[in-house]
Amino acid sequence: MRSKVMLSGLIVMVCSLALATAAYCEGGKFSDIVDAKSTLCYPLELTFKRPSGVLKTSFAPVKFSHGQHASVACVTCHHMWDGKGEIQGCAEAGCHDNLKDRQEATSYFRAFHDKNADNSCLGCHMKLNVERKAKGQKPLSVAPCSNNGCHVAAK
């Protein structure tokens, strides 16, 4: 009996959460001075689910916050976006879809770890760290791979 009550409570909670997130984009309410012609919905914070077929790793899954990256233009990362249509995930067919060979140019791994790309996580953070060091700021944590600012090891 008790578990039934808890379960229905949970269902109500999950449904209202689903509605709450939907309300930000589709049919969302905006201030009176805005006449929205189109809307785009995106996750403010996310955790990467490695696509099935990707090489196994023991490193912790990475969390990403769009909010933390608000100073970076959408198209820096979503470099194939036309600014109008749908934004696709990184591992779409024809994109970073090589799940096995980490060093290959179109590999899923390289999309995030290419040290020479300005728009990969590691590439941008390493470049930023050179600037931060020059300014005497604390560097973004990029090492060790097993426990850094991105792969945060469970305590």
Annotated binding residues for heme c: 66, 69, 74, 77-79, 90, 95-96, 121, 124-125, 145, 150-151
Query: Measuring CA to CA, how many Å separate 108 from each of 8, 124, 146?
Result: 40, 17, 18
Interface residue with ligand HEC, options 119, 126, 129, 147 (CB under 6 A): 119
Closest CA to 91 of 49, 41, 63: 49
Tokens encoding 32: 């009176």
Is 32 in contact with 53 (CB distance < 8 Å)? no
CB of 29 to ligand HEC, least distance (A): 19
- The interface mask with ligand HEC, positions 17-56, x = CB under 6 A, is -----------------------x-xx--x----------
Nearer to ligand HEC, 4 or 155 (CB): 155
Tokens encoding 19: 């509605």
**77 sits near ligand HEC (criterion: CB under 6 A):** yes
Closest CA to 89 of 46, 152, 37, 151: 46
**110 sits near ligand HEC (criterion: CB under 6 A):** no
Closest CA to 101 of 111, 116, 89: 111
Nearer to ligand HEC, 3 or 71 (CB): 71
- Under DSSP, the state recorded for 133 is H
Binding site for ligand HEC (CB under 6 A): 40, 42-43, 46, 62, 64, 66, 68-69, 71-72, 74, 76-78, 87, 89-91, 112, 119, 121, 124-125, 128, 140-141, 149-150
